[in-house]
Amino acid sequence: MEKRRTLVLSVDRDDDIGYKAGIESPVIGREACLNAATRLGLADPEDSDVNAIFQALKTYDELIARGEDVIIAVIGGNHMNMLEGDRRIADSLTQIITQTEANSCILVSDGAEDDFILPIVQSRIPVESIRRVIVTQMPNLEGTYYILKKFLDDPKIARVVLIPVGLAMLLYSAAYLIGRPDMATFIVVGAVGTYLLFKGFGVDEFFGYIILSLQNSFQKGSFSFVAYISTVLIWIVGIIMGLTSLLVYYPLSEEAGVLLFIAAFIFGSVWWFVGGGLVAMAGKIIDCILNDPHTLGRVVIIPFFIGAIGTIIYGASSYLLSISNVPDFPISPDGGVRAIIIYTVVGLTCALIGIYIQSATITWVKEGKQSKKW
């Protein structure tokens, strides 16, 4: 029967131990965790993660006193990017399990983000128990004001709350300055609605991921940095070409709606966006070949999917514009039908080729690893 080795784990999803205390995670061992809790407590005595780490230490000591085989660790995520933080937590946990050979876990947290942390931990190791640390305080008006002030001082929360309010005020003032107060409400509601949609669909995290990738590739001196910069320039050209196509092919009639507006923009810009995506992925693939071959199988399929999606979208936009009586449009209605069929078939074929190449690449990487072992 396999001997049980328990991991007492405290997860700091927003990486306060790194951001505030300057401690690189994962932190493994009682002394290292005690030092992390002490440094974080000195940096910010009000941080709830301090209590969570001390609770983990207390749980560790109790299990040791009962004669159990126990390891303690603290993992930090990312203070500004939750997506990258969760990936870092997963990688760090895999590293700890491999290093310590733990086969069960007791999760200790402040209860704030258990819904996000727990699935990540459970996907790597069985969780036997969850210990939540709730700090009790005297609930009064002054305390509520202080808590709200602390929330607004947090850059993550401030970006979500203050930016839409500030943007609404700025746009409202601008509408009055240009002499169009009647448009103020329309502009403010539209801008704030767009911002909330971006937040809701995670578009801001996507752009944050792009910026973080640029920073990492530049710091590492990777070839992908040049590819990413080239992609941005190509996409700017694509936006300009899309707007030009919009001016030329968007039908100026009452029947024309948002769908044709989008189709006209896509018709002129889609190949530029596809080309930029392919350039970016070419840089990523070259970096994987040179520095990280075992991830090549996950990356090599993306250019084919980009090409497939771009081809199908181009066929659809061509068909929509061809049947919309657009003056001087180069494709006839019959040609539009043929275009959407041909481009859809080509796109699906491209995706299937990508799936086959991904499978072959994964096999090739595995064979290369096995040959190195021998």
Q: For the segment 170-184, what is each residue's pLDDT rounded down to a tens digit?
A: 877 877 777 777 777
Average pLDDT of the segment spanning 327-344: 86
Residue 346 pLDDT:
93
- CA distances (Å), origin 4, targets 104, 120, 261: 7, 21, 63
Residue 255 pLDDT:
60
Considering the chain, what percentage of its residues have pLDDT values greater than 70? 82
pLDDT level of residue 264 (50, 70, 90 thresholds): confident
Q: How far apart are CA 361 and CA 293, in angstroms?
A: 10
Mean pLDDT rounded to a whole number for the chain: 81
Which residue, 70, 101, 74, is CA-closest to 6? 70
For 134-158, how does the pLDDT look when each residue is reduced to its tens digit (9 = 90+)? Answer: 665 545 544 555 566 666 666 666 6
Q: Could you tell me the two tokens for 66?
A: 């009962």
Q: How far apart are CA 241 and CA 83, in angstroms?
A: 33
Q: How far apart are CA 274 and CA 231, in angstroms?
A: 10
pTM over 0.85: no
Which of 352 and 297 is assigned the larger pLDDT? 352
Q: How far apart are CA 212 and CA 228, in angstroms?
A: 12
- Determine contact, residues 50/37, Cβ cutoff 8 Å: yes
The residue type found at 263 is A
- How would you classify residue 250: left for phi > 0, otherwise alpha for psi between -120 and 50, otherwise beta? beta
Q: How far apart are CA 43 and CA 38, in angstroms?
A: 9
- How would you classify residue 221: left for phi > 0, otherwise alpha for psi between -120 and 50, otherwise beta? left
For 96-121, how does the pLDDT look when each residue is reduced to its tens digit (9 = 90+)? Answer: 998 888 889 999 887 656 567 888 88
- Determine contact, residues 7/97, Cβ cutoff 8 Å: yes
Which of 119 and 164 is assigned the larger pLDDT? 119
Give all domains of the chain, ordered by start, each with its CATH number.
6-132 (3.40.50), 137-194 (no CATH), 202-359 (no CATH)
Average pLDDT of the segment spanning 84-101: 88
- CA distances (Å), origin 155, targets 56, 79, 163, 164: 27, 9, 11, 14
**Lowest model confidence (mean pLDDT) among 18-22, 109-113, 282-286:** 109-113
User: Reading across the β-sheet that carries 104-109, which strands appear in turn?
Assistant: 27-28, 70-76, 6-12, 104-109, 127-132
Residue 44 pLDDT:
84
Residue 374 pLDDT:
44
Considering the chain, what percentage of its residues have pLDDT values greater than 90? 21
Asked if pLDDT for residue 370 goes beyond 70, the answer is no
Which residues, 6+ apart, have CB-to-CB distance to 361 below 8 Å? Answer: 296, 297, 300
**Lowest model confidence (mean pLDDT) among 90-94, 224-228, 255-259, 295-299:** 255-259
- Determine contact, residues 47/16, Cβ cutoff 8 Å: yes
Q: How far apart are CA 318 and CA 316, in angstroms?
A: 5
Q: What are the two backbone dihedrals, phi and then psi, of residue 100, each rounded to the nearest 5 degrees?
A: -100, -15
Average pLDDT of the segment spanning 216-237: 82
